[in-house]
Amino acid sequence: MTLELSHLSRRFTDYPALDDVSLVIAPGEFLALLGPSGSGKTTLLRILAGLDYPDAGTVQLDGNDFLAAQAHKRKVGLVFQHYALFRHLTVAENVAFGLRVRSRKARPSRTEIAERVQQLLKRVQLDDHGHRYPSQLSGGQRQRVALARALAVEPDLLLLDEPFGALDAQVRVTLRRWLRELHEDLELTTVFVTHDQEEALELADRIAVMNRGRIEQVGSPEAIYQQPATPFVCEFIGKVNKIPLTYANHRLSAGDWVLEGDPWNGRHANVVAYVRPEHLSLVGAHTESGWAARLRHVYLAGSVAHLELYIPSIDQTLEADVAGEDVAALGLQNGAELRVAPRGAIVFALGEQAGDAPAGRWVWQA
């Protein structure tokens, strides 16, 4: 089933929740809708679920009008952040609910329902919990019950609205990897809403980054991270150092860091370089391009150490990442004088007004 969303718009009073959104979702794809609160991702999910309708635009399913179908006829499974389980029903009864409320003509027999419930509970690794009530389960177990209930109606499209948002960090990591394996086994088309970039990068085949009701970029996790199309995507996905550049003598520079050439030949006054912490390297003292830096602090985070560096020549504090084991080997201590230089950067020529689309983009490599 190919879903084609064309020019969807939705307004709440004067607020554009969706602003001319177009997107194609391929059969069997795991698509993440990623963005900050208020970016429109949940509104888009609710429209696909039949819980809301756009003011303009269409959704086609294999050439047919998807929005014309009633919500219960769309073959959609929906999982919310806060489980939405029935507290007075057992786990097995919660999973069976969607099947039992079907019309008599479409409802499976009791035996068939019981067999399907047991199969699903086994798939979500809760086959011995069917007699329990939601209050007797952990948060991760409740979310798996909610997922089993969504799968019970045999959906063609699975919609997940920040399903791990209420769980602690370790449970989230375990569940999202389990969810990815489940998606691959079932080959369902899945749309996953999240504001957690790590979840999106780990789970999705493609990511649609949303901002202020619009899609800023759609692409693979690698493309979104390594080749961001806009400054917003660059800043929202992962950590990044934002460094204003100046133009002189036909070159762009920031202090002692000089970029050979300028693809815009000085046409744009507002040019900014974005450098990932892993692309900011410690270099030899005699390296020509780069900055003299003072190490303010070392933040150890397991196998990675985050270095907080003050650069006097540009009056900025930047972050660089090195392997945790290199901290002792290099004798890195607070107050140490170092020299650093970017190995790569995404450079944007920005518009005159805040919010303007970038006038140009340059992937710079040392």
33 is written with which tokens? 């809708």
151 is written with which tokens? 């799968």
Q: Which domains does the chain have, with CATH numbers?
A: 3-232 (3.40.50.300), 240-365 (2.40.50.100)
Q: Give CA separation, 19 vs 170, 230, 264, in Å.
A: 36, 17, 31
**Please, where are the H alpha helices in the chain?**
41-49, 91-100, 110-123, 139-152, 169-186, 197-203, 221-226, 231-236, 326-329
Tokens 């960090």 sit on residue: 169
- Residue type at position 113: I
21 is written with which tokens? 């959104």
- Return the CA Rg of the chain: 25
How is the beta sheet containing 206-211 ordered, strand by strand?
A: 76-79, 157-161, 189-194, 30-34, 206-211, 214-219
171-237-355 Cα angle (round to 5): 135
Q: What is the pTM of this model?
A: 0.87
Per-residue confidence in pLDDT tens, the chain, 366 aa? 799 999 999 999 888 999 999 999 999 999 999 999 999 999 999 999 999 999 999 999 988 999 999 888 888 998 887 778 899 999 999 999 988 888 888 888 999 999 989 988 988 888 899 999 999 998 888 888 988 898 888 889 999 998 877 677 777 788 888 888 888 888 889 999 998 898 899 999 999 999 999 999 999 999 999 999 999 999 999 899 999 999 888 889 999 999 987 888 888 888 999 999 999 999 876 667 789 999 999 999 888 999 999 999 999 999 999 998 888 888 888 999 999 999 999 999 987 665 667 889 999 998
CA 255 to chain centre: 34
At residue 232, φ and ψ (nearest 5 deg) are: -60, -50
146 is written with which tokens? 């909610």
State how far the Cα of 67 lies from the Cα of 47, in Å rounded to an integer: 8
